[in-house]
Amino acid sequence: MITLMATLVARPGKEKMLAEFCAQLAKKVQAEEGCLMCIPHVYAEEPQQIVFLEKYKDQASLEAHAQTSHMQEASQELRKLIAGAWNTFLLEL
């Protein structure tokens, strides 16, 4: 099993747009074969920060996730909504 944690920070004034975008994206990701969990979490004390927690059946599922059309499109949209790059951490169990 592969666990992924990605941290995003919204551009000033884009917090609500980013949260809504991430909620819609999570529904698409959760529907992928091999995705066991996809949850975006907005920090209550720091609403500009969102953490995605995702679990995949295996490395192949994670690689397939990165190649989906919705992730390719999301990558472009996220560049408009986030400040800087997102941080990603992987844990293989």
22 in Cβ contact with 50 (< 8 Å): yes
Tell me the C-alpha distance between 10 and 79, whole Å: 10
pTM of the model: 0.89
Can you list the domains of the chain with their CATH numbers? 2-92 (3.30.70.100)
Torsion of CA 30, 46, 90, 72, to 10 degrees: 50
Q: What are phi and psi of 64, to 5 degrees?
A: -65, -40
Over residues 49-93, the pLDDT tens digits come to 999 999 999 999 999 999 999 999 998 999 999 998 777 888 776
